[in-house]
Structure 1
Amino acid sequence: MLVLAFWGGVAQAAGCGAAGMTQAVVIGETGRSMLIHLPAEFDPDRPLPLVVLLHGSGGTGANMLKSAGLALAGDRHGFIVAAPDGGIPHDKGYVWNIPGVPTVSGEVPGPEDADDVAYIRTSIDWLVAQGCVDATRVYATGLSGGGRMTSWLGCVAADRFAAIAPVVGLRAGNPSKDDPHTPDPATCTPSHAMPVMAFAGDRDATNPIQGGGAGYWQYTMHAAQQRWAQLNGCKAAPVTRWVAVDVYEEWYTGCRDDADVAGRITVGGGHSWVADNDAMWAFFSRFRRK
């Protein structure tokens, strides 16, 4: 049951914060907190969709929330945004634990490092238990290393997410050890079809859509899209369409459970938040987890 108090005339959802505000919330007994933004029109009697926003390598949830503009989109469209910190300290921020894949430090996370997948799973379950979040409408997005973590969640935690939208970070499993220019199918086995909308810039030199780059990258964005389309059982040939003067999309349709796979490319875009938040939400809002 959702418990409410009223502080200064502002509705407070127990554990989730205040409507129209961003607050740090301690998640259950994890010992870790995350920033939660409730939309201004939050209705405490109606659980809302949740978008989990993941920062890039060396970043923080606070900085990601400021730069991505998703809190404003949440206010417009009526969804909650959760912005956690990764579990591995790095530089002045954090990186995410994607097992078997080196972080930007070049080191592969070990068993002593925080289990970020478990933390995010627990966080979602806890927010649902507070009565704030609709468990069938949980989505993930993230920038760069957060985009790779978003992809990883689609691979190994599909039971919690209705759709994902990596930004300059789409992957479909770890690079194959035998041929790093292809994804290893054994490392991405989602429990159900996962709708994907990926955003990228064609001038990204850090995570180039043409592949290459650091050891955690290697295969092309197109290879990642093809693998997700295969995982989702998409049967129609991909279609390319221009949606703006400098933005085009590649769509795979005819997929199991209508779980489309889309890549949205900004011509001249670099390694930054190139996502159109309204387009992202329009995609997310089509899907509910069964």
Structure 2
Amino acid sequence: MKGARGVVGVALALIAGLWGDAARAGCDGLAEPCQISTGSYHISLPDDAQKPVPVVMFLHGYGGSGAGTMKNRPMVEALLARGYAVIAPDATRRRNGNRSWVFYPGWEGRDEAAFLRDVMADAGDRFGVSLQNTVLAGFSAGAFMVNYLACEAPDDFAAYAPVSGGFWRPQPERCVAPIRLFHTHGWSDRTVPLEGRYLGDKQFQQGDIYAGLELWRQTNGCDGHAPDRSWQDGEFLRRRWDCGVGGDIQFTLFSGGHTLPKGWADQMLNWFEAG
């Protein structure tokens, strides 16, 4: 889609970076991020980690950065406390200077799937992180990237955990293979509404989150639409579909808006480790 990159800043003004600059980031304690030929990433390792170290890779939102991800200390420290390395890659800069991911089919730019594979390979060589016990998570624009990568390259990570993002329209007609998916979304999100919305003078359209879940049920080979289990956990409303060989889907709604809910890191890891 020629010219799409030039309007990403307008089209994704909805997806502001969540956390700003980092208080603690870099290449495992160093001031600067880890550099590879295709980009850069930040990493923090748990104390006394047993190698290979399991990984949560978290993709920032539009206008954010890997350093900004690392500033979300409640999330990062919760993941580290569970023994996971936290990897926060940097998206490339758009023409307006803001960073975002090249997730939409037809956009020109970096091959993000190849970049994330490069990041994992480099982190494995440098820091001894696991290449199998891995979760790819992301917020907003990062969550859109998570969904598209899960659809196109499901074997790149063991599980996928998008927050506040799904597909854009037209959404993919099919995805490659069953996955493990932990999707979290705010009931009152107006930036990425559950029903989707138009962007950039209707040049782009966010997809309906429920339509995206239907695609994932089809991909995982679910026999029907009704969940296998529905329950309430405090403020969280949860649905789960246990279908697909090695696949499952959990959808969590919370009462807030366009944000990462408190306690998300432990909830996500409880699900991941129980699978």
TM interval, shorter chain, is: 0.7 to 0.9
Q: Counterparts in 2 of 1:138-217, with a 5 A limit?
A: 138-171=134-167, 174-176=168-170, 183-186=171-174, 189-190=175-176, 192-214=177-199, 216-217=204-205
Matches of 2:274 and 2:259, distance apart in 1: 26
Q: Report if the CA contact (8 A) 2:161-2:184 is conserved.
A: yes
Q: TM-score, normalised by structure 1?
A: 0.76
Q: Which structure 1 residue ranges, 5 or more long, are not aligned?
A: 1-15, 102-108, 177-182
Q: 1:243 aligns with which of 214, 233, 239?
A: 233
How far is the alpha carbon of 1:258 from its aligned partner? 4.0
Q: Which amino acid aligns with 1:200?
A: H
Q: What per-residue deviation string (whole Å, max 9, x for no partner) do you get for residues 33-71 of structure 1?
A: 21101012323xx21111111010111111122137332
Identity of aligned residues (%): 26
Matches of 2:153 and 2:252, distance apart in 1: 24
Matches of 2:173 and 2:64, distance apart in 1: 29
Q: Report if the CA contact (8 A) 2:189-2:258 is conserved.
A: yes
Q: Report if the CA contact (8 A) 2:101-2:141 is conserved.
A: yes
Residue of structure 2 equivalent to 1:13: none
Find out whether 1:34 has 2:34 as its counterpart.
no
Q: Which has the larger radius of gyration?
A: 1
After superposition, the Cα gap between the structure-2 partners of 1:202 and 1:185, relative to the gap in structure 1 and judged at 3 Å, is same
Matches of 1:93 and 1:147, distance apart in 2: 17
Q: 3-state SS of the aligned residue for 1:185?
A: coil
How much is the aligned-residue C-alpha RMSD, in angstroms?
2.3
Q: 3-state SS of the aligned residue for 1:285?
A: helix
After superposition, the Cα gap between the structure-2 partners of 1:222 and 1:23, relative to the gap in structure 1 and judged at 3 Å, is farther
Q: Report if the CA contact (8 A) 1:88-1:97 is conserved.
A: no
Query: Structure 1 runs of 4+ off > 4 angstroms?
Result: 21-25
How far is the alpha carbon of 1:91 from its aligned partner? 4.9
Number of corresponding residues: 244
Residue of structure 2 equivalent to 1:4: none
Q: What per-residue deviation string (whole Å, max 9, x for no partner) do you get for residues 235-284 of structure 1?
A: 3631321111x21012112x1224111111012x1111126110111122
Q: 1:284 aligns with which of 263, 267, 272?
A: 272
Q: Report if the CA contact (8 A) 1:225-1:262 is conserved.
A: no
Matches of 1:90 and 1:286, distance apart in 2: 43
After superposition, the Cα gap between the structure-2 partners of 1:72 and 1:217, relative to the gap in structure 1 and judged at 3 Å, is farther
Find out whether 1:226 has 2:196 as its counterpart.
no
Q: What per-residue deviation string (whole Å, max 9, x for no partner) do you get for residues 75-125 of structure 1?
A: 211011110110233655401001437xxxxxxx32xx2222211111112
Q: What per-residue deviation string (whole Å, max 9, x for no partner) do you get for residues 128-148 of structure 1?
A: 234612211111111100110
Q: 3-state SS of the aligned residue for 2:245?
A: helix
Residue of structure 2 equivalent to 1:179: none
Q: What per-residue deviation string (whole Å, max 9, x for no partner) do you get for residues 148-196 of structure 1?
A: 011112112212111101000123xx422xxxxxx3315xx23x32111
After superposition, the Cα gap between the structure-2 partners of 1:261 and 1:147, relative to the gap in structure 1 and judged at 3 Å, is same
Matches of 1:22 and 1:218, distance apart in 2: 38
How far is the alpha carbon of 1:24 from its aligned partner? 4.2
Matches of 2:67 and 2:98, distance apart in 1: 10
Q: Report if the CA contact (8 A) 1:27-1:123 is conserved.
A: no
Q: 1:256 aligns with which of 219, 244, 248?
A: 244
Q: Which amino acid aligns with 2:42?
A: L
Matches of 1:285 and 1:24, distance apart in 2: 32
Q: Which structure 2 residue ranges, 5 or more long, are not aligned?
A: 1-25
